[in-house]
Amino acid sequence: MKNNKGFTILELITTIAIVVIIFGVILPSFTRNIKKAKVAADTETASEMATSINASLAYETLKFMGSGPVMIKNGSVVSDSKLIGSGFDEKYVRSKVDKDATFVIYGDNINGVERIVLINGHDEYDCWPGTATTIEDTMVPTTSYIGD
């Protein structure tokens, strides 16, 4: 009587194929959920920025300076326009989606913050005001780059 120990090559290949199929189904969903969580964190950051800036504008401790929107990338202002005064510190503004993403703050000294957009590569995501009803709505790019 022959004593078989171990697996045949066919059993190993079948097991590996099943594992690959399972990962192929689960991995896209997993990465999508990670991106949703990061976008939700950036939306929360934008909401906190708007609240902080609007409160500081109301107390007249902060002013928009320059023309055009204020652009903040990785904790630094990268536009000619700036927020001058106290009550808001851009060094804490960092995107969770991508370290090279830029928050663009549209507003003025009279109306306060009107809109905050996150630019990530060639896509723009509306982060504030909270017009999106779901995270999926927030993640839909408002503009897309169409290559040459």
**pLDDT band with cut points at 50, 70 and 90 for residue 101:** very high
40 domain-assigned: yes
Whole-model pTM: value is 0.73
3 domain-assigned: no
| pLDDT for the residue numbered 98 | 86
For all residues of the chain together, what is the average pLDDT?
85
Mean pLDDT in residue range 113-125: 88
CA-to-CA distance for 34 and 95, rounded, in angstroms?
14
Percent of the chain at pLDDT exceeding 90 = 59
Query: How many CB atoms are located within 10 Å of the residue 72 CB?
Result: 25
At residue 89, does pLDDT exceed 80? yes
Of residues 147 and 39, the one with the higher pLDDT is 39
97 domain-assigned: yes
Segments of the chain assigned E as strands? 62-65, 70-73, 76-77, 82-85, 102-108, 112-120, 123-128
Of residues 107 and 148, the one with the higher pLDDT is 107
43 domain-assigned: yes
Least confident of 62-66, 125-129, 136-140, 143-147: 143-147
134 domain-assigned: yes
- Digit-coded pLDDT (tens) for 12-69: 999 999 999 999 999 998 888 988 888 888 999 999 999 999 999 999 999 999 989 9
The tally of domains found in the chain comes to 1
| pLDDT for the residue numbered 120 | 85
Mean pLDDT in residue range 122-145: 62
At residue 145, does pLDDT exceed 50? no
48 domain-assigned: yes
Give the domain extent around 22: 9-139
